[in-house]
Amino acid sequence: YDRKCVFCRIARREEPGTALFPSEYEDLVCFKDIKPAAPHHYLVVPVEHLGNCKTLKTEHIPLGK
């Protein structure tokens, strides 16, 4: 968890006004983008703080499975 990361705060339900959509995966959250590029623009992010794609490791492969 990174307190400065908006996605971490959203995943922990600490961002007021950001509704999470139901998900069958407990390690992922889905929510509507605050600046959508299309009428149906949603983001799916991991609950675990990952930083960026350069920090991904082989143990992250099953994420969302």
Per-residue model confidence as pLDDT tens digits over 3-48: 899 999 999 999 998 999 998 888 899 999 988 899 899 999 999 8
**Res. 56: pLDDT tops 90:** no
Amino acid letter for position 6? V
Q: How many domains does the chain fold into?
A: 1
pTM (2 d.p.): 0.77
Q: Is residue 1 part of a domain?
A: no
Reduced to 3 states, what is the DSSP secondary structure of residue 10? helix
Q: Is residue 17 part of a domain?
A: yes
Q: What is the pLDDT of residue 64?
A: 61
Q: Is residue 41 part of a domain?
A: yes
Q: What is the CATH classification number for the domain harbouring 48? A: 3.30.428.10
Q: Which residues constitute the domain of residue 58?
A: 6-64
Both structure tokens of 44: 């799916």
Number of other CB atoms surrounding residue 15 within 10 Å: 16
Contacts 24+ apart (CB under 8 A), 51-59: 51/2
**Res. 65: pLDDT tops 70:** no
Average pLDDT on 43-59 reads 88
